[in-house]
C-alpha cells in the first residue's frame, strides 16, 4: 500500500521539475528544448496534470484507511505509465508524434482516475454514515394531513 501513497506525489514532482525546466529552457539560450512536444508537455500538459495528481492524492489522503481499489491501482498505473511514455517520447523529434497521440489518452485516464477515486470516497462515506430510520413520508410533514 505504501507504493500507492507515494507514486502520485513522486510523479507530480517529476512533472513539476520538467515544467520548470521547460520554462527555464525557453527563457535561456543554453538549455535545450528537445522537441515541440516536449515544450507543449512542459507548458500545457504537465501543469494541468500536476493539478490532477494533486486532486487524486487529496482524495486518497481523505480516506480513513488509505487503501486503493484494484481498479484505481490499474488507473493510477496507466496514468503513471502514460506520463513516462509522454516524457520519453518527447525527448526526440523523431518520436514526439507518440506524445501527441498520447495526450488524449492521458487526459481520459487522468479524468477517469479522479472520478474513480471520488466515487470510491463517496461510497466509503455512505457506507460509514449512520443509518437513518426514514420509514414514513409522513414524518416529513409535521402537523397533520396535507
Domain assignment of residue 13, given as a range: 2-127
Within-domain flag for 79: yes
Within-domain flag for 139: no
Asked whether 79 and 113 are in contact (CB, 8 A), the reply is yes
Within-domain flag for 135: no
Q: Is the pTM of this model over 0.85?
A: no
Within-domain flag for 133: no
Total tally of structural domains belonging to the chain: 1
CA distance 56 to 59: 5
CB neighbour list of residue 78: distance below 8 Å, 6 or more residues apart: 109
Across the range 44-48, mean pLDDT stands at 92
Within-domain flag for 64: yes
Within-domain flag for 141: no
CA distance 96 to 37: 6
Q: Tell me the pLDDT tens digit for each residue of 89-137.
A: 999 888 888 988 999 999 999 999 999 999 998 888 887 766 665 555 5
Amino acid at each position: 500500500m505504501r507504493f500507492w501513497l507515494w507514486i502520485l506525489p513522486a510523479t507530480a514532482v517529476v512533472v513539476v521539475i520538467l515544467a520548470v525546466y521547460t520554462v527555464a529552457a525557453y527563457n535561456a539560450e543554453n538549455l535545450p528544448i528537445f522537441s515541440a512536444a516536449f515544450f507543449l508537455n512542459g507548458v500545457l500538459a504537465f501543469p494541468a496534470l500536476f493539478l490532477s495528481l494533486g486532486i487524486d492524492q487529496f482524495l486518497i489522503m481523505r480516506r480513513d484507511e488509505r487503501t486503493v481499489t484494484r481498479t484505481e491501482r490499474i488507473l493510477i498505473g496507466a496514468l503513471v505509465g502514460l506520463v513516462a511514455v509522454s516524457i520519453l517520447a518527447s525527448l526526440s523529434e523523431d518520436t514526439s508524434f507518440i506524445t501527441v497521440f498520447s495526450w488524449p489518452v492521458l487526459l481520459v485516464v487522468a479524468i477517469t482516475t479522479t472520478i474513480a477515486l471520488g466515487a470510491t470516497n463517496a461510497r466509503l462515506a455512505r457506507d460509514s454514515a449512520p443509518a437513518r430510520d426514514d420509514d414514513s413520508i409522513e414524518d416529513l410533514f409535521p402537523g397533520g394531513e396535507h
